[in-house]
Structure 1
Amino acid sequence: MARTTERCGPEVASPEGIEAQTCVLTAGRDRPDTWARTYYRNETGGELLAVLSLMGPYGRTVQTHCPIDADDEPAICETPREPSRGEHTAYMAVAEFSAPANISAPANSGNGRSGGSSGNGGNGGETEADGAEFEPLLLRSGSNAPAPAAR
């Protein structure tokens, strides 16, 4: 059985009540697979949308949209597993959590914020090409941990 390597960023939390930690995982010996996973807890009391992106060498990116239930139990969101291309350290994952501005779009419709710049704050919601609106970003979690401090 091949061992799974997991490289995670720091645990982060937002004032709104979202906690997350995002990781890059690799498993397999002869033909290893790599994928992204975010561990999260939603204590906001409302449904959210998450976009989880796995960025790899040679400009390869895999993105998954995950509906996040209004539940404060720990849960995960994962990208599909992809054949590894290059070293495990060449991969990075980012999860972005936002709340839908309009409830008319179903939470599991696969809509989510993708690409572009985002940050906390802003005026009003953002509009996707399909017309769904999303509130400003609530939390961004990445797989890169800060470098250890020199002693």
Structure 2
Amino acid sequence: MNLRLIAIGAGVLIILSLPLAGAIAGPDFAGQGDGKGGGLLSSLGLSGPARPPDAAARAAARAASPGPAEQPRTDSRCGPELTAPQGLEAQTCVLEGDGQTWGRSYYRNTSGRPLDAVLTVMGPAGRTVQIRCAVGPGDEPGLCETPREESVGAPDGYSAVAEFAVPDDEGRLLLRSGSNSPAPREG
């Protein structure tokens, strides 16, 4: 058994020493000492085609370049997190970034039934964007978001409101969440 282990170890050493032997051998065995190819690795067919000298510089430049482009900054103004006794939590925000403004409402619907949400963003000069979202039941958080529109006027001129209602109960309102809602008072 020890003889087998020694034979395996010797084989591994031979395989690992091939690159070192190629580096030491230099030009190929045919005596073509032109420096363009050769060496033990190319004679065994283990090395790829020679790279032009500038290819290494280009590869190094690519490796040094930064990753993906930096994402534009997004600012948000959010109202408080609100909870309805029927099992609904929500928070509504106005987001601004890259010259655009939009609304987003984060929610969690543990009521056990599907709900409807209407998210409205109101902006300067009477500009309004509205979207309806289906809010499925479950413990996983979800979001409802309006399309992004080009920003007009000051950022504080925008507000958003999300209204969550029961669809089969004549639209009975369960929760209204706003981006600039005052925090609930204690006491």
Kindly indicate whether residue 70 of structure 2 is the aligned counterpart of residue 3 of structure 1: no
Kindly indicate whether residue 171 of structure 2 is the aligned counterpart of residue 135 of structure 1: yes
- Map of 1:33 onto structure 2: 100
Aligned pairs for 1:2-151 within 5 A: 2-28=72-98, 32-101=99-168, 125=169, 134-146=170-182
**TM-score normalised according to structure 2 size:** 0.58
After TM superposition, give the deviation of residue 135 of structure 1 in Å. 3.5
Give me the CA root mean square deviation.
1.5
- AA of the residue aligned to 1:69: G
Q: Distance in 2 between matches of 1:63 and 1:86?
A: 19
- Structure with greater proportional strand content: 1
- AA of the residue aligned to 1:141: S
Render the CA deviation track for 1:5-37: whole Å, top value 9, x for unaligned.
Answer: 000000000000100000000001xxx000000
Q: Distance in 1 between matches of 2:158 and 2:73?
A: 18
For structure 2, the 5+ residue unaligned runs are 1-70
After TM superposition, give the deviation of residue 60 of structure 1 in Å. 0.5
Q: Distance in 1 between matches of 2:112 and 2:133?
A: 17
Render the CA deviation track for 1:49-90: whole Å, top value 9, x for unaligned.
Answer: 000000000001000000001122101100000000111110
Q: Distance in 1 between matches of 2:171 and 2:126?
A: 29
After TM superposition, give the deviation of residue 100 of structure 1 in Å. 1.5
- Structure with greater proportional helix content: 2
- Map of 2:51 onto structure 1: none
- Percent identical among aligned pairs is 58
The total of aligned residue pairs comes to 114
For structure 1, the 5+ residue unaligned runs are 102-124, 126-133
Q: Distance in 2 between matches of 1:83 and 1:67?
A: 26
**TM-score normalised according to structure 1 size:** 0.72
Render the CA deviation track for 1:87-129: whole Å, top value 9, x for unaligned.
Answer: 111000000000112xxxxxxxxxxxxxxxxxxxxxxx5xxxx
- Map of 1:129 onto structure 2: none
SS at match of 2:173: coil
- AA of the residue aligned to 1:79: T
After TM superposition, give the deviation of residue 145 of structure 1 in Å. 4.2
- Map of 1:105 onto structure 2: none
Could you say if the C-alpha distance between residues 75 and 85 of structure 1 is closer, same or farther in structure 2, counting changes exceeding 3 Å?
same
